[in-house]
């Protein structure tokens, strides 16, 4: 890490020492305009950072870190198609999949999208197919699965979609249950077309006898060799990382299952966020500011995880998608140059949909020993279901953020119990149990509506936030070598678990478990 980056971190740590014990309520009392000045927006998205334990000076320290880390230069490299994935010698051009009006007219991306569109129209309108089974894992599964769930209101009524990702056979057995193979399309999605879980599931479903098989892959030759007709192979490129591949042919299932034009509207919304991120200075750039908040909580204040809570049932799969995006991208231990990192580069991402989460783990958020920052998301637009539920979901989201900040002292809890007629002894005994520490940080974000455009913008926002955090940490967010070692070891153990001889150099614990679990 450069000397200027170290100097910037020293300034951040100075600001953290000033603010670490600050009361959020006092920050509001000292700045009547805080709710306005700490709120920023971008296409389709607004974020209120005012309940975070930071101020303009702290954000200014991160702007200095961005200059020291050459944020502008790395951002220009990303959008210039330069090599930013330094360990694999690749560009990261997932954003290019979202350029809806490319200069010079037709190119390989628009050609691929046109083929997807024509194929989807054929499948959805022919009357020959009732169902689509999508097989992938990781980014080849989470993105399309989440998008279809989020945009259920835009689905075609005549197409059933099933997903299977886990190599546990129950998953793929569930995927085919009740379907007619002669009216089912199988889509196999694998960047390398060598992914063990996906190919095992694909072999099973192929033997079941689907009417047609398509593939999305960056290795079309392998898909054709496996048995997919050349015209039914849809390419994407090695400069599209798996967790960034939602925008490519990986979402062929979305093009089929969503109404005409909906997938393209997602691309348009994502492109709007791309342009905001590309052209806006750090100090007003929403993904960049959000990255600063994430790093402030993690590195300056020492909060190692955060909870992502969408108060929108249609976004219930967003935390799972974000887990992979953030932790597979930035879960690194060395810099781009291979030097050990002086601090962590990624928080633990977890969460679930509100209000369900309130009856699950919010006990820990409110009264646990450790502070866990929370990121709330609400849909500010039209909502499905009973109209009376709209205000209730907002009330719960706002109340949780307010309660995390305000808390309740033991004295307040005792006074409330006494006012309800409880005895002095019981109120004194129960007061510590009914007290809330408060002063716990949260961000509240809102989509203008849960439309295809807004969903595209939201997902692009998270992609760009991950990139900014990586730049500020000095790491490469576009490789994932940490996934590989376990895969290699699984392949080495598989023959023994299928009845063969175990590898001779196994540790005693693994060898014992191979004996317990191996096929008879």
Which residues carry out catalysis?
Answer: 328, 359, 487
Cα–Cα distances in angstroms (integers) from residue 195 to residues 118, 162, 244, 282, in the given order: 28, 19, 17, 39
Give the relative orientation of helices 452-473 and 71-80 as an angle to the nearest 10 degrees: 130
Identify the CATH assignment for 3-82+268-406+440-473 out of 3.40.50.300, 3.40.50.10490, 3.40.640.10, 3.40.50.2300: 3.40.50.10490
Domain range list for the chain: 3-82+268-406+440-473, 99-260, 482-517
Asked, colleague to colleague, whether 3-82+268-406+440-473 and 99-260 share their fold, the answer is yes
Q: Are 472 and 295 in contact (CB under 8 A)?
A: yes
- pTM for this prediction: 0.96
For domain 99-260, give the fold: Rossmann fold (3.40.50)
How many angstroms separate the CA atoms of 57 and 504, rounded?
59
Q: Which tens digits make up the pLDDT trace of 448-459?
A: 999 999 999 999
User: How does DSSP assign 179-246, residue by residue?
Assistant: --GGGEEEEEE-SSS--HHHHHHHHHHHHH--SEEEEEES-HHHHHHHT--GGGEEE--TTS-GGGGG
The strand pairing partners of 164, in sequence order, are 135
Nearest to 296 by CA among 248, 343, 362, 332: 343
Q: CA–CA distance from 433 to each of 75, 214, 372 (Å)?
A: 49, 58, 19
| Rounded (5°) CA angle 324-329-332 | 120
> From the CB of residue 394, how many other CB atoms can be counted at a distance below 10 Å?
16
Tens place of pLDDT per residue across the chain (520 aa): 788 999 999 999 999 999 999 999 999 999 999 999 999 999 999 999 999 999 999 999 999 999 999 999 999 999 999 999 999 999 999 999 999 877 766 688 999 999 999 999 999 999 999 999 999 999 999 999 999 999 999 999 999 999 999 999 999 999 999 999 999 999 999 999 999 999 999 999 999 999 999 999 999 999 999 999 999 999 999 999 999 999 999 999 999 999 999 999 999 999 999 999 999 999 999 999 999 999 999 999 999 999 999 999 999 999 999 999 999 999 999 999 999 999 999 999 999 999 999 999 999 999 999 999 999 999 999 999 999 999 999 999 999 999 999 999 999 999 999 999 999 999 999 999 999 999 999 999 999 999 999 999 999 999 999 999 999 999 999 999 998 899 899 999 999 999 888 888 899 999 999 999 987 7
- SS3 of the chain: helix, strand, coil, percent, to 5: 55, 10, 30
Q: Which residue has the tokens 């808390």?
A: 407
Q: Model confidence over 104-141: pLDDT tens digits? A: 666 889 999 999 999 999 999 999 999 999 999 999 99
User: Any idea what DSSP says for residue 446?
Assistant: E
């Amino acid at each position: 890490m450069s000397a200027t980056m170290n100097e910037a971190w020293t300034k951040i740590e100075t600001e953290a020492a000033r603010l670490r014990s600050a009361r959020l309520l006092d920050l509001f009392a000292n700045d009547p305009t805080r709710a306005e000045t700490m709120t920023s927006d971008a296409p389709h998205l607004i974020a209120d950072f005012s309940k975070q334990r930071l101020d303009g000076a702290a954000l200014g320290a991160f702007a200095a870190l961005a200059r020291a880390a050459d944020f502008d230069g790395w951002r220009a490299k990303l959008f210039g198609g330069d090599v930013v994935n330094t360990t694999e010698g690749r560009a990261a051009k997932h954003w290019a999949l979202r350029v809806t009006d490319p200069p010079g007219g037709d190119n390989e991306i628009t050609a691929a999208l046109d083929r997807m569109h024509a194929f989807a129209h054929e499948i959805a309108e022919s009357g020959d197919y009732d169902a689509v089974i999508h097989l992938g894992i990781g980014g080849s599964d989470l993105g399309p699965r989440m998008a279809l769930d989020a945009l259920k209101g835009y689905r075609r009524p005549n197409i059933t979609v099933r997903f299977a990702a886990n190599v546990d056979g129950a998953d793929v057995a569930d995927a085919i249950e009740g379907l007619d193979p002669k009216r089912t399309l199988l889509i196999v999605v694998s960047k390398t077309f060598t992914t063990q879980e996906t190919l095992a599931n694909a072999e099973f479903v192929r033997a079941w006898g689907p009417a047609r098989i398509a593939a999305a892959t960056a290795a079309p030759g392998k898909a054709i060799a496996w048995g997919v007709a050349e015209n039914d192979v849809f390419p994407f490129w090695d400069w599209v990382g798996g967790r960034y591949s939602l925008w490519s042919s990986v979402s062929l299932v979305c093009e089929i299952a969503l109404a005409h034009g909906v997938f393209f509207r997602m691309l348009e919304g994502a492109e709007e966020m791309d342009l905001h991120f590309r052209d806006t200075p750090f100090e007003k750039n929403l993904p960049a500011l959000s990255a600063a908040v994430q790093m402030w909580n993690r590195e300056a204040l020492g909060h190692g995880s955060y909870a992502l809570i969408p108060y929108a049932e249609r976004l219930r799969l967003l935390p799972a998608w974000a887990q992979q995006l953030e932790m597979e991208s930035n879960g690194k231990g060395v810099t781009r140059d291979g030097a050990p990192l002086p601090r962590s580069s990624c928080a633990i991402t977890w969460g679930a949909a509100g209000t369900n989460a309130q009856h699950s783990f919010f006990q820990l958020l409110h009264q646990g020993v450790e502070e866990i920052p929370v990121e709330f998301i609400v849909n500010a637009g039209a909502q499905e279901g009973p109209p009376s539920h709209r205000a209730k979901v907002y009330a719960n989201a706002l109340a949780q953020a307010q309660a995390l900040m305000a808390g309740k002292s033991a004295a307040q809890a005792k006074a409330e119990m006494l006012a309800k007629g409880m005895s002095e002894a019981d109120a004194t005994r129960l007061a510590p149990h009914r007290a809330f520490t408060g002063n716990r940080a949260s961000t509240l974000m809102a989509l203008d509506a849960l439309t295809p455009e807004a969903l595209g913008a939201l997902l692009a926002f998270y992609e760009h936030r991950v990139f900014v955090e990586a730049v500020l940490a000095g790491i490469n967010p576009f490789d994932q070598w940490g996934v590989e070692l376990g895969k290699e070891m699984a392949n080495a153990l598989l023959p023994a678990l299928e009845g063969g001889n175990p590898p001779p150099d196994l540790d005693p614990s693994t060898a014992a478990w191979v004996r317990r679990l191996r096929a008879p």
